[in-house]
Structure 1
Amino acid sequence: MKIQLIAVALSFSLAACSNTQLSEQLNTSAPDKVPSTVAVNAQASTIITLEQVMADPDWFGRAPESWYWGDDSNTVYYQQKQLGNPLRDLYALDLANSSKTSPVDLSIKHKVADKNAKFNQARTHKVYTFNGDVFVKTLASNTVKQLTFTSNTERKAFFLTNGDIAYQVANVFYRHNSQTGQIKELASLHMSDKPAGVTEPKSYLAKEQHKLIAYIALQQRNAQLKHAQKQRLAAENSAVTDSKFYFGKDNKVAYASLSPAGDKLLVSIALAKSSRDKSDIMPNYITKEGVIVAKKVRARVANNRQYKEQLFILDLVTGTQQALSYDSLPGFDEDVLASVKAENYARAGKKYKSEKKARNIHVLGMYNPIKWSEDGQHLAIMLEAWDNKTRWLTTVNFSDNTLVSQHKLHDDAWINWNFNEFGWLNADNNASLYYLSEESGYSHLYHKNLNAKAVKLTSGAFEVSSVTLTQDNQHFIFKANKKHPGIYEIYQVDMAKNLIALTDLGGKNDYVLSPDESKLLIEHSTVTMPPELYVQNINAVGTAKRITYTVSKQFLAMPWAAPTVVAIPSSKQKQPIYSKVYLPKNFDKTADKNRAVMFTHGAGYLQNSHLGWSGYFREYMFHSMLVQQGYVVIDMDYRASAGYGRDWRTAIYRHMGKVEVEDMRDGVNWLIENANVDAKRVGTYGGSYGGFLTLMSLFTDPDLFASGAAIRLVSDWAYYNHGYTANILNTPEDDAIAYERSSPIYFAEGLNKPLLINAPMVDDNVFFEDTVRLVQRLIELEKENFETAIYPVEPHGFVQPSSWLDEYRRIYKLFENTL
């Protein structure tokens, strides 16, 4: 089988990976002065230990966080964690003064902590909230004025089209007059029934009471007079206003968005009652009180109710509210689960009859799913069906208060939780939108006038995200993996579809455009180098300057392994399986076959065989330790991983754990053929979804691995949350077949190799219950080849270094004893 090597830049060379068969690496450019990675002496004698790898990560560096531009486009702000504690400090970096960096004093933090500020239309002022109060900055003089001094939490501050400032406190919306300082309540949203006023007696006894008792009749008359006077006052006196809107008891505001014109408000209302059951609790055994505390946690998908929202348009001028109907949306009443239900019915010996019925629809859960045009005359909303199969980008026709579908995206599997960005063009008289869609099989950028067909601006086998529109409406800047699935560069495209790469750094890059749109602030990392900040001029394509140096010398001196990203041929489909392969020194020259470990990343939809710094940095260092001791390590982006398009993502629909294990077998076979690995000496481990795949591989393909370690594992998907699980497996009520063939607990009898289970007990993501039920199942099956380690104070993502160390000592011991 011919080895397929991917073009990567890994200057962090190690002699352990110098074999010519696996060293064909193509260079990508790096900044002139400072390379993105630092070369290490291949003969370094430093020994990598578990104690060092699992120590508090402060030891190797505290990367810049929450970075953003200053107003002058020459200052960069970022947060950095303090050494040895969770507090963060804000720093200012002056590009015009040799990148001088200084901490921002707490006394002036309110003047610069404006990362999410909103401009006025002339871009002369900014408004933002800090510590729950509203601030306005005049850009020409760099002066800041505090508008509110309250114990309330003001939020979502922005400029209205007339220059006034609007903000929100809980469910109340205010307008601050910039000239007079007057504050007006625009709308107050009440989750109760509208007061009925003075009601007439209804029952026989009440009517008799009003007829016979003069005092009661007098009180009724006085109440009616007061109510009538209040109504006349509100109608005839402009100083009196009633901004209350009522949406019924037992409801809550899911979303609310005020028009920039200040005359309309979109409100989305949902039931307030939680879907969680009283049994949805998580016992915490280690508490400061010394007693067991039962914490309320999320609902399970098995008992999660169907979810819907009702949209309303509030006219703040007339004080009226109008419900918006979903009936105008194409496919609003389709039975999209008909074939799934028919299969499940047939298994039970019944026949399913498909009927059209209005689907439950809600605002799509994403950042800013409701967007007004700059002038406040147009409104766009991203909606999604509860069954996760359809997404609508809609606008509102205010002449008759109806929804108009601008774009419908349907997926027989599920709509992606990513790639739902959209927005209006700036001050566009033609009222046009841009949006991302996976309809071609990959996330791409589209432009659409409201009354015209959409135009696709990007195309190809790559994914577009993080879109920024320039002020002149001529260019879109975005992140994409066009060069290679694991390399993310920054690109620019214009309305004529002319595409250029702005960066050529290799690795993984995220960005923010400067206020004057002349520069990019970039967070850049590689496989062997944690994130640092770079700056690049827009017109200096491919040239970036590094401006932060937060990685420790101790980390740079360590002999970390440099994996090669390999495209492993798949035995099941055309697209290869991109994988990181770590090879020890002389891996192909030893007389004995090598032992190997396969790491399986979590979440399912993550990507870990990219060329940037991984969130699994401890695992990366652990792999380097294994390589130093002669192990081969492989880390695969199995099917369902992000970065490879829609078909790769949805390959697991209705059957999780099948195609991924097929890919894992292809990975093992590749190691046997290309890395001199002994087929009987391969182990596997992973956490969360990786723990689930460890179980599925050991249970359903028991000859594949010699041993496995499952961390914070999922054993039964019916116990996981709705948002994630129902996308992939529908719901247990509709699709029990999918849950049964995807849950390891149903296949536990297949275990015949050593299994280590590591389980945190205060995990509110994957409940400890998953481990408890699986262990009981294994006991009842009379299995003897498993062990369980519990971690009483750890959540889903371990925190304490002592827990990390204990966990990986056990994993390492498992591999040492079985491989």
Structure 2
Amino acid sequence: MRSLVVALFAALGTGSAMAATVEPLDMEKIMANPDWIGQAVEKPYWSIDGQTIYYSLKRDGSPVRDLWRVSASGGTPERLDPAAVAAADGQAVFDREHRRAAFIRHGDVFLREGGRTIQVTRTSDEETAPRFSADGRTLQYRVGNDWFVYDIAAAVAAPAVVLRAGDDPDEKATDTLEDGQQALFSTLRKLKADKDAKRDAERDLAAADPGRAPRPLYVGKDLKIVDTELSPDGRWMLVVTEAKDHDAGKTPKLTHYVTDSGYAEDEDVRPYVGRKDPAPQSLLLFDLGSRQRYALKTDGLPGIGQDPLAALRSQSAAALRKAGKNDEADALKAPAVRPVIVNADYSPGVVWSDDGRHVAVELRAIDNKDRWIASVDFAHHTLVSEHRLTDTAWINWNFNDFGWLKDSGTLWYLSEESGYSQLYMRKAGASAKALTSGRFEVSHPVLSDDGRWFYLRSNRTAPYSYDVYRVAAAGGDMQRVTHYEGMDDFVLSPDGRQLAVLHSTSYMPSQLAAAGVEGTAPRELTDTRKADFRTREWIAPKIVEVPSAHGAGTIWAKFYRPADAAQASGRPAVIFVHGAGYLQNVHLSYPAYFREQMFHNLLVQRGYVVLDLDYRASEGYGRAWRTAIYRNMGHPELDDLLDGKAWLVKNQGVDPKRVGMYGGSYGGFMTLMSLLRAPGEFAAGAALRPVTDWTTYNHEYTSNILNDPQIDPEAYRTSSPIEYADKLADPLLIMHGLIDDNVLASDSIRLYQRFIELHKKNFWMSLYPMERHGFVHADSWYDEYRRIDELFREKLGQ
């Protein structure tokens, strides 16, 4: 066997003597702790002077991340010891003139001015979000939802506002009994007058003394503070609130069986979809000068009063009434004004212009059919809709960035309204202008400090190829800045002339380079791969176009085969199905599924070919590809996987009776849907941590695609593998972590019980007591993939 593997390595690449000296791949190696590969470069940022780039690397054998630095002009990277970390720059923000910089180090705020470093705070709190005020005289920062202002000249820090839940005690209204007491008793009247006089005198002193902390402001006793955003000029505070008594719904439990205590221990996890909607949110605007509070109502947003689910709601209500369930039918009634939340999980949420004169808020309906970007009319204390994005399926979780141009009155934002994420700008009162357009995606826009350029990540040249591009803020052609085709992230230098670029390839984790913004050749700064991994001959996946027989156009895929293409003929095949649903795995960067990619190398060595498809619902291909699964999960994707199998048979000579399938999470779900809805098509399948019944998955993801189960029960019946359990005919292996708090292990256990009751055969389950959704222990990885390997060997006959 060893001589065959060495011969294969020689055929795949250079045939060098080095390849022959490398130990052959085996399951123990590829499922070992990935430290043997080398660490990916993480979280790069520029030094304040723009000469050095800092970054993080995971320490071998430990979850600890060390801080490293390297000169942007090249040289040997240096790991910083604790003393050097204590003196290192943090990720800095600058004032308008770039004379001062501020950053966070070990949770405290530091100021750099004229070569001097000043420690602004030294607390046990975790300070975050430093920024300079609009006039540059103060430094603002926050602790949780509390904002502070550091007066640079006076070297004094103070709260910008003291914000509290509850009602203002000085504004408490009296009732008739209290009024009667005051009317009857002069002593009570005198006590109240003295109290009021003392309070008024204290207010006068506070108003005349800027050295005092501000008096508290109150949001109301029925509200909970979710977020606060202080304006750069220090005048306004925007507060996001929700009801204090919102019921989060019943939560299921999972059990830890292997514990330090020796006793089984329960853990609460997230609610099931539709059991409780997220808490609606509201906005309060505080004028910090006048101490006035204004509610920013959302009922004026366009389309806020329309129910996009009216037809489904009516249909389900009618069915419930027919079944005599009138209370449940009444509960489906839509509100007159749809509730909203601030879209802070998938966007900046709230963004102030640099001068504090403008603010934009991104709101989305809880049903996620609408997304609004609204500004605030400070004179009338109202929201003004600047942009509405509506989608009959659901608003994308990605591509929700927005902000202000440097002239501060012009809004920019990403929108999927054309069918693909593109960049737009809109001046107040004018129509929107597209800065980019085409059948490709743009994301992660960064506006240069001089306001002239947007830098973007885009797959303009091909769906699987990502690089940095730039476009002028005034409009013009997109210019390609990097040519990696596997660009992962970038950070603009303080002077705006360079980019710190993270880039990778199929077998190289993210590495760091410095590149000029004019497109000059980059300087490679790191290569963290270990020699054992770097010197191996890996199979470069071939990106192929699989034609859809179901009207979907092209399905992009990675194909793993022997170096000699003719050897693929007659081999069995394995189809890998990526997880997450909305994820792109057909690209030229280092994959999240790097272990699976090594497993695919091992499968090829053992005589298989492997196909990995970006089925419909995958990221990177536009809105229509993403939403093809709306109310119909597992159906368009199965069409695409069957088209992948047909391509293997027609173009690679694969035996149609020897095609297996495996995948985890959404890939596990699709493995189940494939075997249960297309029995006989696949010789065997391995479903890892699969969703088996969408009614027990979480709310945020599931309700977007299938609506609430009370409103759209048919979508759940159509989309859940457990509904097709009676169709099981092919060998199925199910594997699940017992402490998975994403897809609960009960999903797999319930399906297993269903198979038992249906008297099914050829199904097995393996449970992992110490694993959550993403396995982290090498022993579990090894055991899991050993079982998959044995399944394929036995059932695919190789």
* TM norm. shorter chain > 0.5: yes
126-135 or 648-657: bigger deviation: 126-135
1:393 & 1:759 partners in 2: Cα distance?
A: 41
- State the 1:422 CA deviation: 1.0
Contact 2:256–2:266, Cα closer than 8 Å, also in 1:
yes
1:179 & 1:108 partners in 2: Cα distance?
A: 29
- State the 1:468 CA deviation: 1.2
Q: Which residue of structure 1 lines up, in the alignment, with residue 466 of structure 2?
A: 488
Whether 1:256 and 2:232 are equivalent positions in the alignment is no
- State the 1:296 CA deviation: 2.0
Whether 1:414 and 2:394 are equivalent positions in the alignment is yes
Whether 1:105 and 2:54 are equivalent positions in the alignment is no
Q: For residue 604 of structure 1, what is the amino acid of its counterpart?
A: G
Q: For residue 481 of structure 1, what is the amino acid of its counterpart?
A: N
- State the 1:167 CA deviation: 2.1
2:528 & 2:275 partners in 1: Cα distance?
A: 47
Whether 1:467 and 2:440 are equivalent positions in the alignment is no
Q: 3-state SS of the aligned residue for 1:811?
A: helix
2:625 & 2:681 partners in 1: Cα distance?
A: 23
1:381 & 1:242 partners in 2: Cα distance?
A: 26
- State the 1:107 CA deviation: 2.5
1:420 & 1:186 partners in 2: Cα distance?
A: 29
In structure 2, relative to structure 1, the CA distance for the partners of 1:511 and 1:38 (3 Å cut) is: farther
2:20 & 2:499 partners in 1: Cα distance?
A: 38
Whether 1:379 and 2:391 are equivalent positions in the alignment is no
TM-score of the superposed pair, with normalisation by structure 1 = 0.90
2:374 & 2:15 partners in 1: Cα distance?
A: 49
Whether 1:114 and 2:90 are equivalent positions in the alignment is yes
Contact 2:690–2:748, Cα closer than 8 Å, also in 1:
yes
Q: Unaligned regions of 5+ residues in structure 1, if any? A: 1-12, 19-36
- State the 1:818 CA deviation: 0.4
2:420 & 2:531 partners in 1: Cα distance?
A: 41
Whether 1:268 and 2:240 are equivalent positions in the alignment is yes
Map of 1:572-611 to 2, 5 A cutoff?
A: 572-586=550-564, 588-589=566-567, 593-611=570-588
Q: Which residue of structure 2 lines up, in the alignment, with residue 80 of structure 1?
A: 57
Contact 1:74–1:94, Cα closer than 8 Å, also in 2:
yes
In structure 2, relative to structure 1, the CA distance for the partners of 1:152 and 1:535 (3 Å cut) is: closer
User: Quick one: higher RCO (CA 8 Å, sep 6+), 1 or 2?
Assistant: 1
1:301 & 1:210 partners in 2: Cα distance?
A: 54
- State the 1:366 CA deviation: 2.7
Q: Which residue of structure 2 lines up, in the alignment, with residue 175 of structure 1?
A: 149
In structure 2, relative to structure 1, the CA distance for the partners of 1:415 and 1:220 (3 Å cut) is: same
Query: 1:279-311 deviations in whole A, cap 9, x for unaligned?
Result: 422211111111122112112213122531110
476-485 or 281-290: bigger deviation: 281-290
In structure 2, relative to structure 1, the CA distance for the partners of 1:738 and 1:285 (3 Å cut) is: same
Query: 1:622-658 deviations in whole A, cap 9, x for unaligned?
Result: 0000011110101000000000000000100111100
Whether 1:498 and 2:477 are equivalent positions in the alignment is yes
Q: For residue 315 of structure 1, what is the amino acid of its counterpart?
A: D
In structure 2, relative to structure 1, the CA distance for the partners of 1:575 and 1:684 (3 Å cut) is: same
In structure 2, relative to structure 1, the CA distance for the partners of 1:39 and 1:408 (3 Å cut) is: farther
611-620 or 514-523: bigger deviation: 514-523
Whether 1:757 and 2:757 are equivalent positions in the alignment is no
TM-score of the superposed pair, with normalisation by structure 2 = 0.92
320-329 or 662-671: bigger deviation: 320-329
Q: For residue 75 of structure 2, what is the amino acid of its counterpart?
A: S
The equivalent position to 1:513 in structure 2, one of 486, 489, 492, is 492
1:531 & 1:522 partners in 2: Cα distance?
A: 9
Q: 3-state SS of the aligned residue for 2:169?
A: coil
Contact 1:749–1:778, Cα closer than 8 Å, also in 2:
yes
In structure 2, relative to structure 1, the CA distance for the partners of 1:402 and 1:803 (3 Å cut) is: same
The equivalent position to 2:164 in structure 1, one of 190, 213, 223, is 190
In structure 2, relative to structure 1, the CA distance for the partners of 1:258 and 1:647 (3 Å cut) is: same
Q: Which residue of structure 2 lines up, in the alignment, with residue 359 of structure 1?
A: 338
In structure 2, relative to structure 1, the CA distance for the partners of 1:775 and 1:404 (3 Å cut) is: same
Q: Which residue of structure 1 lines up, in the alignment, with residue 423 of structure 2?
A: 445
Q: Unaligned regions of 5+ residues in structure 2, if any? A: 1-7, 323-328
Query: 1:245-283 deviations in whole A, cap 9, x for unaligned?
Result: 222335322221000000100001013456544542221
Contact 1:128–1:134, Cα closer than 8 Å, also in 2:
yes
Q: For residue 368 of structure 1, what is the amino acid of its counterpart?
A: P
In structure 2, relative to structure 1, the CA distance for the partners of 1:208 and 1:397 (3 Å cut) is: closer
Q: Which residue of structure 2 lines up, in the alignment, with residue 340 of structure 1?
A: 312
Q: 3-state SS of the aligned residue for 1:404?
A: strand
In structure 2, relative to structure 1, the CA distance for the partners of 1:553 and 1:200 (3 Å cut) is: closer
- State the 1:343 CA deviation: 4.2
- State the 1:589 CA deviation: 4.7
Contact 2:250–2:275, Cα closer than 8 Å, also in 1:
no
Whether 1:522 and 2:533 are equivalent positions in the alignment is no
Map of 1:311-322 to 2, 5 A cutoff?
A: 311-322=283-294
Q: For residue 530 of structure 1, what is the amino acid of its counterpart?
A: P
Q: 3-state SS of the aligned residue for 2:657?
A: strand
- State the 1:582 CA deviation: 0.7
Q: Which residue of structure 1 lines up, in the alignment, with residue 510 of structure 2?
A: 531
- State the 1:109 CA deviation: 2.3
The equivalent position to 1:52 in structure 2, one of 29, 51, 67, is 29
- State the 1:105 CA deviation: 3.0
1:688 & 1:113 partners in 2: Cα distance?
A: 40
Q: For residue 233 of structure 1, what is the amino acid of its counterpart?
A: E
- State the 1:581 CA deviation: 0.7
In structure 2, relative to structure 1, the CA distance for the partners of 1:274 and 1:85 (3 Å cut) is: farther
793-802 or 366-375: bigger deviation: 366-375
The equivalent position to 1:124 in structure 2, one of 99, 109, 119, is 99
Q: For residue 51 of structure 1, what is the amino acid of its counterpart?
A: E
In structure 2, relative to structure 1, the CA distance for the partners of 1:68 and 1:680 (3 Å cut) is: same
- State the 1:106 CA deviation: 1.8
In structure 2, relative to structure 1, the CA distance for the partners of 1:344 and 1:278 (3 Å cut) is: closer
1:778 & 1:220 partners in 2: Cα distance?
A: 79
2:755 & 2:217 partners in 1: Cα distance?
A: 57
Contact 1:420–1:437, Cα closer than 8 Å, also in 2:
yes
Q: Which residue of structure 1 lines up, in the alignment, with residue 772 of structure 2?
A: 795
1:226 & 1:183 partners in 2: Cα distance?
A: 31
Contact 2:296–2:382, Cα closer than 8 Å, also in 1:
yes
Q: 3-state SS of the aligned residue for 1:303?
A: coil
1:334 & 1:638 partners in 2: Cα distance?
A: 33
Whether 1:324 and 2:299 are equivalent positions in the alignment is no
Q: 3-state SS of the aligned residue for 1:387?
A: coil
1:706 & 1:347 partners in 2: Cα distance?
A: 41
- State the 1:354 CA deviation: 8.9
In structure 2, relative to structure 1, the CA distance for the partners of 1:296 and 1:356 (3 Å cut) is: closer
Q: Which residue of structure 2 lines up, in the alignment, with residue 677 of structure 1?
A: 654
Q: Which residue of structure 1 lines up, in the alignment, with residue 404 of structure 2?
A: 424
Contact 2:48–2:101, Cα closer than 8 Å, also in 1:
no
Q: For residue 139 of structure 2, what is the amino acid of its counterpart?
A: I
Q: CA RMSD in A?
A: 2.6
478-487 or 445-454: bigger deviation: 445-454
The equivalent position to 1:234 in structure 2, one of 203, 213, 216, is 203
Contact 2:251–2:271, Cα closer than 8 Å, also in 1:
no
- State the 1:224 CA deviation: 4.9
1:313 & 1:236 partners in 2: Cα distance?
A: 26
Whether 1:370 and 2:354 are equivalent positions in the alignment is no
2:724 & 2:498 partners in 1: Cα distance?
A: 55
The equivalent position to 1:702 in structure 2, one of 662, 679, 682, is 679
